């Protein structure tokens, strides 16, 4: 009975298009490199070269994760796009902001992949702080 439900859930996921997550390699190394340069030019003065922030400026690693994870990546992207850089908010292009977001993901130890992060479609990418457990296949589900 349980196996039947798992199959139904998997079928539903396939029908709706399974959402990717930040652990699925949603940016490329080359993009993160570009993002690194853009970050140093536009963000590093406040957030620091190592993203650790200051007493007043929030870090982009560590406690950054519980504050921003748990939703989809477009939430963080929209904030970066409209509120940052603090001194001239909204001044960077969507492509540059996507590169910076890729660099932030890399700095938080999310794996890179083969496809670049695009400003479009970020709503379909979950921002998971912890790597989700692999969905059980029919074979290993049955073995338990």
Partner 1 sequence: MDRRYLLKNSLALGATMGFGGCAATPPPAPQQMPPAKPVSTVPFMDRVPPLALVRAHTDRLFDIKVCLRPFRTKGPNLDVEQIGDTMVVHNYGHGGSGWSLSWGSADMAVQKALSGSPKQIAVIGSGIIGLTSAITAQRAGAQVTIYTRELLPRTRSVRANGSWTPDSRISLAAEAPANFGDTWEKMARMSWKNLRPYLGRAGNPVAFCDHYRLSDTPPGQPVPVDPNIPPLPAPSWTGLPTQSADFGRYDDRIADLTPKPEVLTPDNNPFPVKYASRTSQMFFNFTEYGHLLTSEFFERGGKIVMRDFHSPSELAHLPEKVVINCPGFAARDWWKDKAMMPVRGQTGWLIPQPEVNYAMTYRNVQMLSKSDGIMVIALEYGDMKGYNNSDESVNRAEAERAVRVIEELNSRFKPT
* Interface positions with partner 1 (CB under 8 A): 45-46, 55-58, 63, 66-68, 71, 75-76, 79, 82-83, 86-87, 89
* Shortest Cβ 9–partner 1 spacing (Å): 24
- Residue number with CB closer to partner 1 (5 or 55): 55
* Shortest Cβ 99–partner 1 spacing (Å): 21
| Structure token digits, residue 108 | 């938080």
CA distance 5 to 101: 37
- Residue number with CB closer to partner 1 (38 or 80): 80
**Backbone phi, psi, residue 50, to 5°:** -100, 15
């Amino acid at each position: 009975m349980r196996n039947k439900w798992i199959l139904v859930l998997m079928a539903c996921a396939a029908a709706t298009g399974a959402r990717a997550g930040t652990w699925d390699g949603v940016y490329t190394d080359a993009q993160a490199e570009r993002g690194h340069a853009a970050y140093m030019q536009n963000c590093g003065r406040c957030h620091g070269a190592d993203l650790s922030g200051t007493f007043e400026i929030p870090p982009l690693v560590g406690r950054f994760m519980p504050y921003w994870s748990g939703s989809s990546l477009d939430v963080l992207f929209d904030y970066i796009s409209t509120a940052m850089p603090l001194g001239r908010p909204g001044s960077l292009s969507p492509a540059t902001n996507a590169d910076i977001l890729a660099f932030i993901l890399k700095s938080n130890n999310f794996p890179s992949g083969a496809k670049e992060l695009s400003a479009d479609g970020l709503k379909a990418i979950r921002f998971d702080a912890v790597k989700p457990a692999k969905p059980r296949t029919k074979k290993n589900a049955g073995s338990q």
